[in-house]
């Protein structure tokens, strides 16, 4: 039932609207990143723990991180393809 709601919604939205929504979200994300104070992140781990963690970072961890990014990008492209 939800699929029919999505398909009827996609008839009302144009590509220009979708591109505007995506660019607006991107601008908002960059602006919030610049406006928020991220200095508290430095206090989460000590320098010793950071270097220990980075030394134990292997190629398998890199593959897992790459897979997560790929899945997120795939979901974004899936959502965009529904609207186009």
For the question of whether the overall pTM of this predicted structure is more than 0.75, the answer is no
Residue 11 has pLDDT above 70, yes or no: no
Residue 40 has pLDDT above 70, yes or no: yes
* pLDDT for the residue 15: 76
HEC-encoded secondary structure of the chain: CHHHHHHHHHHHCCHHHHHHHHHHHHHHHHHHHHHCCCHHHHHCCCHHHHHHHHHCCCHHHHHHHHHHHHHHHHHHHHHHHHHC
């Amino acid at each position: 039932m939800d699929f029919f709601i999505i398909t009827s919604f996609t008839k009302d939205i144009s590509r220009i609207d979708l591109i505007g929504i995506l660019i607006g979200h991107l601008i908002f994300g960059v602006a919030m990143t610049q406006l928020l104070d991220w200095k508290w992140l430095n206090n989460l781990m000590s320098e010793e723990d950071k270097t220990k963690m980075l030394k134990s970072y292997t190629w398998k961890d890199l593959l897992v991180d790459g897979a997560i990014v790929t899945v997120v990008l795939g979901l974004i492209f899936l959502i965009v393809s529904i609207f186009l």
